[in-house]
Structure 1
Amino acid sequence: MPQLVPHPKVAVTATAIPEVLIIEPKVFGDERGWFTESFNAQDFPDATGLSVNFVQDNHSFSRQSTLRGMHYQLEHTQGKLVRVVLGSVFDVAVDLRKDSATFGKWVGVELSAENHKQLWVPAGFAHGFLVLSPTAEFLYKTTDYYHPQSEVCLAWNDPTIAIQWPLASGVSPNLNAKDAAGLSWEQAPKF
């Protein structure tokens, strides 16, 4: 588990799964707008106790009710630092580590352009998000490169995991074919 240290430029909070962290960079604002350091290679390890090397940045645009996930890679596993720069999403991580006290548990956090929250999702977790706003732009830094040959998709609606997605009554998420065909908890490979 990371050792969280109070930091003057970033607040870090553990979630119900202690390795999944909510990161809130300090935002400086006035009547003109605001400024924040969304990532600082010195502050991140100082505040989180984590030593990571990010190698790839991804940026996605999605419409309301789009659900992307629950993705992970069996090889070239990725830690992800995720945030939203337009709109809002409900972001979810599922623990797939067999030797973990939180194996099979999930945690969800609303990330938005307004709240500036980020989520650290370590390797060994399935990850996905549901778009809550009319549109959303989602950014993530990864600790390894995308490796499509080892990508796995866990079913977003698996009853064993029972993620409580904030979907309006009667609304089904907008899924691509890969996400609609996600594997059940029993079928999905674990770490």
Structure 2
Amino acid sequence: MSEKNASVVRSLLDRQGTTFAADAGIKLRNTPQPLYQLLVLSHLLSARIRSDIAVASARALFQAGMRTPRRMAEADWQQRVDALGEGGYRRYDERTATQLGEAAELVNRDYRGDLRRMREAGDPGELLQEITGIGPSGVHIFLREAQGVWPEFAPYFDRKAQQGAERLGLPTSPESLGRLVNEADLPRLAAALVRVALHADAAREVRAAA
């Protein structure tokens, strides 16, 4: 890695290197509860709504007790709507409340509440899209963050993360980006690059400090 790229990466991780899961209070491990919470967060982040609102709404759902697919399915529709509203997720709250309930029922029914069973059953990139509310964007979000605990997907840098790399003058291929940090920091780098892609001021701040 060139000295210039190393300086940019250090500045990037220092300023933007918190994963979206960590922002939502998820301590991501390869266990059922945090993986399900990441699924919920990926669902919310994939909508056309600000990422900070999606993160706040995920926190509100979890604080209201909807931390597992069983608890999400047991909550009634209005409880889900209220929690989403508390997080500011109002534009899509009614539809999303319905989708979250349907998704939880599917995870309970097909995987007994444990997304590790989905990982064992086939390609999560395909199977995730069978879950209500998860499309290609939701898959990218989930796997960008999950690559830290599901290393077979690493290095995972989708088009949005690559746009952030391009904005900073870094290499853009997943393989090249994966060589810029150690394996444990891949989710942090991916999240930081997405923030840079979404916010031009973040890119300027990183470049100025590098």
Query: TM-score if structure 2 supplies the norm length?
Result: 0.25
More strand by share: 1
Query: TM-score if structure 1 supplies the norm length?
Result: 0.26
More helix by share: 2
